Structure 1
């Protein structure tokens, strides 16, 4: 699995012009699922997301997690994270999971965050979504389960 994690002051997602989810300070997470990913990848990345120390402490150092600050997490599925642009100008999505697997593992990621105490703020899987955010920093990280230590 592959995540784009953005520290935000606020973020929201709308479908068909209707806002369906929003958070204040916290993390906007764009989540891509590859065809080799498993539930273990989803759980691993949920823990990683909750514990990333990318919020400033009193000394101005990135030393606090979204858990530490009591922030929210807005998770949005995004298969295009697996787009391969190496050849030509049109991305190939061959490494992206099929929709059924993608939805299952995206939901596993969200459920793992919920077990860690977060409200499940999400977009709508497979929908055309409009994401609005106020990036904080900006702080943006790519986090992958590739190369993780096994559970």
Structure 2
């Protein structure tokens, strides 16, 4: 089996596509077609949203509650006004795609920057740019780390 045949659809695999985008040595420069870049950026934007939701304490606690409106509002009345404002903000973001565009703007800014040299460390890049791209840096920490496995590397 040829390498081209074995890795023909690798760009459409979200794990590999997002990892490639988040590697500042490669970004979107080596994808074979625009459709694959679009799929990869959509997958990355989705992952960024998941990271944001998991880092928001009010959202994390409200995700475990039942989706019924009235009892949830009564519970939140006992909590802070901040929780209520957070819920309103999240509902508004769900309804207005323009408010969610900040993730895509951050991603565009990152992708427009020049790539790193092959010998440079992507981990050092994200450590240096964590303040500029906090959501991307958190997503990169998730995707650029190698998961432990019992599979031999020769089978890859």
Report which of the two structures shows the higher radius of gyration computed on alpha carbons: 2
Q: How high is the TM-score relative to the length of structure 2?
A: 0.28
Query: Comparing both chains, which one has the higher relative contact order based on Cα–Cα distances under 8 Å and sequence gaps of 6 or more?
Result: 1
Q: How high is the TM-score relative to the length of structure 1?
A: 0.28
The answer to which structure has the higher helix fraction is 2
